Amino acid sequence: MPNECVKELFARLESLSPTERTAILIAELAHDPETRSRVEELLATNDDLDDTAFAPFVDSPVSAADDGESPERVGPYRVVSMLGRGGMACVFRAVQEQPFHREVALKIIRPGLDTRGVLSRFDSARQALARLEHRNIATVLDADPFGPSWFSMSLVDGPPVTDYCEENALGFRDRLRLFVQICRGVQHAHTRGVLHRDLKPSNILVSHEDGEAVPKIIDFGVAKALGADASLGETKHTLDTQIVGTLEYMSPEQARVGNPDVDARSDVYALGVILYELLTGSVPIGGDEFRGLPLDDIQKLIQRTRPAKPSTRSHIGAPEDFDCVVLKSIEKLPDDRYENPKDLADDIDRYLQGLPLAIRPPTRMYVLQKFASRNKTLVAFVGVIFAALVLGLIGTSIGFYRESQAMVEVQARDRELERSLTKAQHLNAMLGDIFFGIRPERSGRDVTLREAIVEASQNLLRESSEPDFATASLSRSLMESLFTLGEFELSESMADHVVRWAEAHPERIEDDMLEQGLHRRGHARARQGQGELAEQDFLDAIRLADQAVGRTSSFRHVSRLSLAEWFSARARYDLALEHQLKALELVQELPGTAAANEAFIYSEIGRTHSQLGDRVAALEFADEGLRLLESVGSPDDLKLLSMQRTVALIAMDAADYERAAEILEANAPDTGEALGPESVAALYSTILLGSCRARLGVEPADDVLDEMLQAADTADRVSPPNMSLFLRAYAVNAMFTYGRVDQALVAMDEVVSRGAEAFGPTGDQALQLRAMFATELANAKLWEHATPKLDSLIADLKETRSEDDPFLARMVGLRASAP
C-alpha cells in the first residue's frame, strides 16, 4: 500500500462531508478495502481530534539563572543569599561592611552571558537607574568601577504589589492610592528619558517607610535609555528576534518582533495591566491562555482579544464607572492610551476626589479620521461648526477687550477666554489631523471649510491690527489650518501676528509659541518664494528652540528639517544633509518620539543622499524609514503609502527595480483604495510600477505600456500639467526601455511641446522634462538622438542657471560621455 496514496486521499477528503467522502472512496478504492479502511480510520481520528495533544511540548522559561554557586565577595560587598534571577543578571542580598554596615541588593551580570550586547545593556540599566531619584524607585548606590559587571541598589524588603494587596486585603481606593504612586515613579523615569519596558508586579515591591506602604520599582534591567547622554547613545539593545519583557504585561507594539517603536505609552500599557490585576486578581489577557502556544499565536491573541470590563471580574468591587480608566490604559493602539503615566495617575486622582475624568471616549479621534478619509460631507460639516465657533470667539474676544475697563475683570475674562480657546484649539487640532488624513490632492473640494476659515482669518486681521493674547492664540491655531489649506499669504500674516505678540510679551510665554510662529511664517514665506526671509525665520526658530529652558522644543528638529528642505530646493544638498542628520539625532534623543516622525526623517535623509549620488546610503536610510513605519502603521495609512513611494523611487534610482516593483505592487492598489483610483498618488504609483516592470522586461510589453498610458490619460483629465506630463514622461521612457524607439520618439516630442506650452520654453519644469528624456536616450545609447537634445538643453540651461548649478553640471557630464 503506497503511503502517498493514503496521504493524498486524506488531504483531498479531509475537508469534505461524510457523504462526499464515501462517494469518492467507493469510486476510487472499491478494489482496495485495506487502503479505504485506513483512510477512513485517519479521517475519523481527524474529525474528533484533540488539538491540544499537539500543542508544543515546551513552554520553556526565560533563562533562569545559572545553577553555579554564588560569588562570595563582590567589590566592597559580602554576598549573603540570592534574591532573584533575571534574564541578564542575578540579584543577591549582600552586606557592605566598610565604611559602614548596610544591606543592599546587588545585581551581578550572569557569568557566561558577558557578551558585548549584554554588557552594554547592563551598563545602560545601571546608568539609567543612577539618574533616577524618586521615593518609588529603588536607588542605585554604587557600581563596579572597572566596568559594567555589577551595581548595588537599596534593598527593598517586601512582597510584590499584587501579593501585598491581597495579603492585606486592601480595598479599591487603597489599591488605587498605591497604584498612583507607582505611576508617579514611572513618570519620573520617563521625564529622565528612561522607559522601564518590563513593568510587572514582581518588579514592584512594597516596603514600609515610617509605617506607610511605599511601592518601589526595581529592576530597570531592560530599561533602555532614551536620553541624550552620549554614553547611552547609539547602542541598539533589543535584538531583532528577541523579545524583552514578560508577555502578559507587554503592549502589542512591544510584543511585535523587531519593533523599535516602544515609547512611554508601552509602559502605560503595562501599568494598565497591573491596575487590572490589582482590581480583578488576574491579568486581562494571558495567564493560562498563553500556555503552550507559539509566540506568533500569543501575539495574535494579544492583538485580538478585548479584555472584559474590570468591574465584571473584580473581587474587590471595583465600580463600573472606573472601567474606562483601566481600559483606556490597555488599548491596543498606543494613540488611544493615556499619553503618559502622569495623565493616568492624574485621572485616578481626579476619580478619587470625585472629579470628572479627563479622558474622552477612547477611539473617537481614530474613528473620525478613518471616517473623514471616506466622507467629505462630514469633514465639511465639522469645518462649518468650527468656523462658527471661531467667528463667535473672535467676536467675543474683541468685545471683551474693548469693553473691559478694570484689570481684574480683564483677568477673569482672560481665564474664561482661555478655556474657550483651549476648546477651539482642540477642535482645530482635530481638524488639522483630519486635514492631514485627507489632504493629498483633495483639499480643493473642501470649499465650504476653506472659505469659512479664510473669512474668519481675514476678519480677525481686519478687526485687530495690534495683536493681543486672544487673537494671537487664535492666530496660532489658524495659521496652521491656513497653511494646510494652501493659503500661504494669509497663513504668513497670521504667523506674523503670533510672532509680534510673542516677541512683545516674553514674560507670558510658557511654551513654544514663538518658535511655532517663526517656523510657520518661514514655511509660508518659503512657499511664496521668499527664501531668504524663510531661512532667517527657520534659523531664529532653531536658535530659540535650542535655547529653551525647562522644556524640550520640538522645533529643534522640526525647523531644522524645514531649513534642510529649503537648502534642498536650492540644491545645497550637503547643507540639507547636515541639518537632517542633526534633526534625526535630536529626535532619537527625545523620549516618546512617534515612529512616524523618525521614519519621515529617515526617508528625507534617504532622498538627500540620493540627490548627492550616494545610492547605497539613500536606499539604506529610506528602507530603515519604511521599516519603522511599517512596524506601526496600518496599510491604509497615507503616511505609509507615501513613504512606500519614496522608497520605491529611491530604489529605482539605485536601479533596484525588483525591490521597487515589489513595493509598488502593493502600493498602487492600496493607494487607489485609500484615495480613489483617480487620485494623482494612485496614478503616480501605477506609472512607477509600469516603469519598473519595463526595466525588468515584463511581457507582454503592450499590457504594461497600455496601463501606463491609461494612467497618463486619466492624469491629463484630473491633474495639472506639472503632474500629468511627468507621469506621461515615465510612460515614454518605458517605451524606450522596451526598445520601441520610434513610438517613443513621437510620444516624447508631444510631451516636450506640451511642456513648453504649459511652463514656457525655458520654464524650469519644461527643462526638467527635456533632461529626463535626454538622460533616458543617453542611457539607452541612442546617441544620435541624445546628443542634439543635450546640446540644446545645455544651451537653454546656461541661460537660466548659474555656472555651478548641479543640474547643468549633470547634463554637461552626460554630454561628455557621448562617443
- Is residue 295 at the binding interface for another protein, with CB under 8 A as the rule? yes
* 81 three-class SS: strand
The residue (of 60 and 802) whose beta carbon lies closer to another protein is: 60
- Is residue 641 at the binding interface for another protein, with CB under 8 A as the rule? no
- Is residue 240 at the binding interface for another protein, with CB under 8 A as the rule? no
* 79 three-class SS: strand
DSSP state of 160: B
- Binding span for another protein by CB under 8 A among 170-178, 245-253, 385-393, 672-680: 245-253
Contact 371, 433 (CB under 8 A): no
Q: Tell me which residue has cell 527593598.
A: 156
Q: Pick from 123, 248, 336, 604 the residue near another protein by CB under 8 A.
A: 248
3-state SS, 4-32, equals HHHHHHHHHHCCCCHHHHHHHHHHHHCCC
Tell the smallest beta-carbon distance from residue 289 to another protein (Å). 11
Tell the smallest beta-carbon distance from residue 19 to another protein (Å). 20
Q: How far is CA 41 from CA 25, 48, 208, 243, 529, in A?
A: 12, 11, 65, 42, 80
Tell the smallest beta-carbon distance from residue 779 to another protein (Å). 35
The residue (of 251 and 714) whose beta carbon lies closer to another protein is: 251
* Separation CA 251–CA 796 (nearest Å): 59
User: 308 exposed, middle or buried (CB, 10 Å; 0-12, 13-18, 19+)?
Assistant: middle
User: 427 exposed, middle or buried (CB, 10 Å; 0-12, 13-18, 19+)?
Assistant: middle
209 has which bridge partners?
Answer: 212
- Is residue 146 at the binding interface for another protein, with CB under 8 A as the rule? no
* 405 three-class SS: coil
The one-letter amino acid code at 403 reads E
- Is residue 486 at the binding interface for another protein, with CB under 8 A as the rule? no
Q: How far is CA 123 from CA 143, 258, 442, in A?
A: 10, 22, 51
Total Cβ atoms within 10 A of residue 234? 7
- Binding span for another protein by CB under 8 A among 284-292, 432-440, 657-665, 793-801: 284-292
Residues in 171-230 that interact with another protein by CB under 8 A: 202
- Binding span for another protein by CB under 8 A among 10-18, 376-384, 420-428, 637-645: 10-18
Give the residue among 204, 203, 220, 196 at the shortest CA–CA distance from 129.
Answer: 220
The residue (of 250 and 732) whose beta carbon lies closer to another protein is: 250
Contact 791, 770 (CB under 8 A): no
* Separation CA 203–CA 199 (nearest Å): 6
- Binding span for another protein by CB under 8 A among 35-43, 145-153, 304-312, 314-322: 35-43
Tell the smallest beta-carbon distance from residue 290 to another protein (Å). 7
Give the residue among 384, 374, 527 at the shortest CA–CA distance from 447.
Answer: 384
* Separation CA 791–CA 608 (nearest Å): 28
89 has which bridge partners?
Answer: 109
For Cα atoms 57, 62, 67, give the angle at the middle one, nearest 5 degrees. 105
Tell the smallest beta-carbon distance from residue 6 to another protein (Å). 8
Q: Pick from 172, 290, 400, 469 the residue near another protein by CB under 8 A.
A: 290
Q: Pick from 109, 247, 417, 518 the residue near another protein by CB under 8 A.
A: 247
The residue (of 40 and 144) whose beta carbon lies closer to another protein is: 40
Any idea how long the chain is? 819
Give the residue among 715, 795, 789 at the shortest CA–CA distance from 749.
Answer: 789
Tell the smallest beta-carbon distance from residue 56 to another protein (Å). 4
Tell the smallest beta-carbon distance from residue 230 to another protein (Å). 29
Tell the smallest beta-carbon distance from residue 12 to another protein (Å). 10
* Separation CA 605–CA 561 (nearest Å): 10
The residue (of 226 and 247) whose beta carbon lies closer to another protein is: 247
Contact 164, 206 (CB under 8 A): yes
Tell the smallest beta-carbon distance from residue 494 to another protein (Å). 54
Total Cβ atoms within 10 A of residue 174? 14
The residue (of 38 and 785) whose beta carbon lies closer to another protein is: 38
- Is residue 291 at the binding interface for another protein, with CB under 8 A as the rule? yes
The residue (of 87 and 383) whose beta carbon lies closer to another protein is: 87
Contact 404, 413 (CB under 8 A): yes
The residue (of 272 and 362) whose beta carbon lies closer to another protein is: 272
Q: Pick from 14, 321, 403, 489 the residue near another protein by CB under 8 A.
A: 14
Tell the smallest beta-carbon distance from residue 283 to another protein (Å). 8
* Separation CA 688–CA 638 (nearest Å): 18
Q: Pick from 76, 227, 281, 292 the residue near another protein by CB under 8 A.
A: 292
The residue (of 45 and 779) whose beta carbon lies closer to another protein is: 45
- Binding span for another protein by CB under 8 A among 29-37, 259-267, 283-291, 743-751: 283-291
- Is residue 658 at the binding interface for another protein, with CB under 8 A as the rule? no
Tell the smallest beta-carbon distance from residue 189 to another protein (Å). 23
The residue (of 252 and 437) whose beta carbon lies closer to another protein is: 252
DSSP state of 487: -
- Binding span for another protein by CB under 8 A among 23-31, 209-217, 242-250, 405-413: 242-250
Residues in 346-405 that interact with another protein by CB under 8 A: none
Tell the smallest beta-carbon distance from residue 281 to another protein (Å). 15
What does DSSP say about strands 150-154 and 204-209: parallel, antiparallel, or unpaired?
A: unpaired
DSSP 100-118: S-EEEEEEEEPTT---HHH
DSSP state of 194: B
Residues 6+ apart with CB under 8 A from 459: 391, 394
Tell the smallest beta-carbon distance from residue 55 to another protein (Å). 7
Query: Which x/- pattern, by CB under 8 A, does the window 760-799 give for another protein?
Result: ----------------------------------------
- Binding span for another protein by CB under 8 A among 5-13, 330-338, 707-715, 752-760: 5-13
Tell the smallest beta-carbon distance from residue 117 to another protein (Å). 11
Tell the smallest beta-carbon distance from residue 71 to another protein (Å). 17
- Binding span for another protein by CB under 8 A among 8-16, 304-312, 689-697, 746-754: 8-16
563 backbone dihedrals φ, ψ, rounded to 5°: -60, -40
Tell the smallest beta-carbon distance from residue 297 to another protein (Å). 8
- Binding span for another protein by CB under 8 A among 289-297, 520-528, 658-666, 807-815: 289-297
* 521 three-class SS: helix
Tell the smallest beta-carbon distance from residue 42 to another protein (Å). 4
Maximal C-alpha separation, the chain: 108
- Is residue 241 at the binding interface for another protein, with CB under 8 A as the rule? yes
369 backbone dihedrals φ, ψ, rounded to 5°: -60, -45
Instruction: Give how many residues touch another protein by CB under 8 A.
Output: 42
CB half-sphere exposure, 12, CA atoms < 13 A: 14
- Is residue 296 at the binding interface for another protein, with CB under 8 A as the rule? yes
* 250 three-class SS: coil
Tell the smallest beta-carbon distance from residue 220 to another protein (Å). 17
Q: Pick from 148, 193, 286, 606 the residue near another protein by CB under 8 A.
A: 286
- Is residue 242 at the binding interface for another protein, with CB under 8 A as the rule? yes
Residues 6+ apart with CB under 8 A from 263: 195, 334, 591, 592, 593, 594
Residues in 37-96 that interact with another protein by CB under 8 A: 41-43, 45-46, 49-51, 53-67
* Separation CA 371–CA 285 (nearest Å): 29
Which residues in this chain contact another protein in the complex, by CB under 8 A?
3, 7, 10-11, 14, 41-43, 45-46, 49-51, 53-67, 202, 241-242, 246-248, 286-287, 290-292, 294-296
